[in-house]
Chains A and B, each alone.
Chain A
Amino acid sequence: MSVTTLPSRRIIQQRQPGWIVRLFDYKPFLIVMCLTPAIGLLAVFLTYPLGLGVWLAFTDTTIGKRGVFIGFENFQYLVTDPLWWNAVFYSVFYTAIATIGKFALGFYLALLLNNHFRFKSLLRAIILLPWIVPTVLSALAFWWIYDPQFSIISYLLVDVLHIRTTNIDFLGTPWAARFSLIAANIWRGIPFVAISLLAGLQTISPSLYEAAMLDGASAWQRFRFITFPMMLPILAIVMTFSIIFTFTDFQLVYAITRGGPVNSTHLLATLAFQRGIAGGELGEGAAIAVSMIPFLVFATLFSYFGLARRKWQQGEAND
């Protein structure tokens, strides 16, 4: 008897899972285990800094001195500060014009790249270059291009082509500087838009175009009634990203003009850095950064609801 029961007990013991295995089979434990790293990372690197930033906006903390809670004082001051309004204006203007430019040119480029031609893949890779180059490097390049004394464009126009007699002052006057920065931002942003939209274009079934051509649709009609509507969802996503990237841009402006001349090119991000880190007023800098949030939320909602939620996509009639 005992001889036969012993092996059978051993088998039972082997079948009975160990406590570790049982622990890992326990669903609540597993959920906690799997989520902890992700939540931990989010909390440490996202929630905490964001929360700290929002908290700082309501204090008068400076570098080197712990602040106290002062309510909305920072925001009250900002509303009376012409420089903040200036930065708000230019941030919105910069984002709007640069986004329009990037999408017009990026979409056009995507349509061109969608055709068949030789060295297609190579060219597509080259197109990405402006986006791959670190922003600071391209900013430095533009800084030289826009230099009042050593600009390559001025050199070509003055010394080579003799079209002008004086150098172009790209960054010396407010509007010239604003548009120069926007041009640099468009140049940098086109590849992202173009490649994303190209991916979208390639998902459109060729049969749609064939059908339209059989019906005698012109190239414009094919674009207007097939390409454009089919692209709207991806346009919405790409535009949301693009607006966020542009609105929060820092490096281009900081490296090229530092917000000058006379503060005309400060974005909210550069102004926040200028006041918070260089000026040492951490509380006020944080308040400027926090003041960007409503704009970002609005821009995101606008592009999302304005472009993405069309009724026909949900099976209803388009009106």
Chain B
Amino acid sequence: MKNDITRRDALALGVSAAALAATGASAQSAIKAADVPAPKFAIEKGASLRMLRPVRFVQADEDVFRANCAKFTKETGVEVKVDFVGWEDINQQTAVTSNSGAGPDIIIGFSDAPHIYVDKLVELTDVADYLGKKYGGWQNLAKAYGKKAKSDAWIGLPFGATAGPLIYRKSILKSVGFDKAPEDLAGFLDLCQKLQKAGKPAGFALGNAVGDGNGFADWMLWSHNASLLDEEGNVTINSKETIAALNYVKQLYPTFIAGTPSWNDVSNNRAYSSQEIALTANGVSLYFSLKNDPATKAIAEDSEHQLLPKFLAPISPMSGLTLNAMLFKHSQYPNASKALLTYLMEKDQYEPWLNANSGYWSQPLGSYADAKVWTEDPKVAIFKNTMNSNYYAGYKGPISTATGAVRADYVTVQMFAAVATGASTPEAAAAEAEQRAKRYFRRQTR
């Protein structure tokens, strides 16, 4: 195994790899950059920075990220210490940092985190405006998560996003008469029924799974033009569109493999990898884990990604988990921090990093869509426009603390699961979800 390489070795390797990648990139980079004067951040004397970010998907992510920071240190003399934290822990660590006013200067958290800690953060509008102008503009999802609701003030700096489209077995779909998943409600139901008859059913998480459960619930809601909130932030979950979505899931659920109400985030990966199911929705990690294991390589070759069918919605209603950087007010070196964030998003650093992630993360800035990574594997290319989505957690209301809480408390997931399993009627489930959501949003509307 590669694990006997020490951190220092890895760093050294990473530096050389990144240097190679960087020089290579500058030679043949396709990234268009507008000629915009860079903002001058007066870096504080003796500045040193601490940064926290979620752990890598792939080793190259960490190597290039560290190498980029090392390069920054070399050019500016500012020490940068980066710690990689488990995904489950980053929220808690952010909460402690924010409440205690001590700790890292910069934390890269997830999606709505800056909206929760907005009072404790330094605005990054100058950084974001510069980057947006230079690199083809911020994409929709980046704007939704980066900017404070109903304003142009940037409180987070999105680094990338990862989505969960459909993944299916080409050969099995073909055997029941489909080339891809249909985009209409009746056709998709028909597909799932036929897959079930063929003994390789579909499976979507209806259990308390933060990623997959909420992903399925959001897809069903948005594809029926239902939403948790309206533009003003009023809870609108108890609507006839939601009832329609619930009735559809009630029909769909019997075609799923047994046990989906108890599924968590890894269950569908396991069921798909062991060929129990032919259709599910998941992030790109499932495809890569299949592809990189010789035992399951054949499954990867037979697999295809597809944007979530849009059904009644105008476009595929797919959001993405977003890396979102925050700069805390307690930082003694806000200018150095801003300089570092800007530096990491510049072409020479960001492009190698994006490529190193081989598709796990997709770019928040328009110009980076031309990066090499999106032409390497056609099955991964579908993730290129993840951040172009109009949909986000808490759609279509302003993002707030409560939007994240509703997801973490599985309010909509349980609404669907209750109807699917016959525990409640669609009307009762929607009313209960409304009551629970209103409880979380009571402070936002007060």
Contact = CB atoms under 8 A, between A and B. Distances in A.
A and B part of one assembly: yes
Interface of A: 60, 62-65, 77, 82-83, 146-150, 166-167, 169-174, 177, 257-264, 274-275, 277-281
19 contacts: A62-B401, A62-B443, A64-B119, A148-B267, A149-B276, A170-B262, A177-B262, A260-B207, A261-B207, A261-B262, A262-B414, A262-B421, A262-B423, A263-B414, A277-B92, A279-B405, A279-B408, A281-B405, A281-B440
B417 A262 contact: yes
B439 interface: yes
A258 B116 contact: no
A279 B258 CA distance: 28
Contacts of A83: 436
A172 B440 contact: no
Given A149-B276, A262-B418, A64 B257 contact: no
A62 B270 CA distance: 36
Residue of B98, B120, B276, B410 most packed against chain A (CB within 10 A): B410
Contact of B262 (A166, A260, A263, A277): A260
Given A63-B95, A64-B95, A149-B271, A262 B409 contact: no
A65 B421 contact: no
Given A261-B207, A261-B421, A262-B423, A65 B261 contact: no
Given A169-B258, A173-B421, A274-B409, A64 B271 contact: no
Contacts, number: 105
Contacts of A148: 257-260, 262-263, 267
B385 to A, nearest CB: 30
Nearest to B408: A278
Contacts of B410: 260
A64 B99 contact: yes
Interface of B: 92, 95, 98-99, 116-117, 119-120, 206-208, 257-264, 267, 270-271, 274, 276, 401, 404-405, 408-410, 414, 417-418, 421, 423, 432, 436, 439-440, 443
A258 B401 contact: no
Given A264-B423, A275-B409, 5 more contacts: A172-B260, A177-B262, A258-B208, A261-B421, A263-B414
Q: Is the interface of A mostly helix, strand, loop or mixed?
A: loop
A258 B120 CA distance: 32
Given A149-B276, A177-B262, A259 B208 contact: yes
Pick the 3 closest A-B CB pairs, nearest first.
A148-B259, A171-B262, A261-B261
A149 B274 contact: yes
Nearest to A173: B421
A171 B208 CA distance: 12
Contacts of B258: 148, 166-167, 169, 172
Nearest to B208: A258
A258 B209 CA distance: 9
Contacts of A275: 409
Contacts of B408: 274, 278-280
A258 B95 contact: no
A3 to B, nearest CB: 70
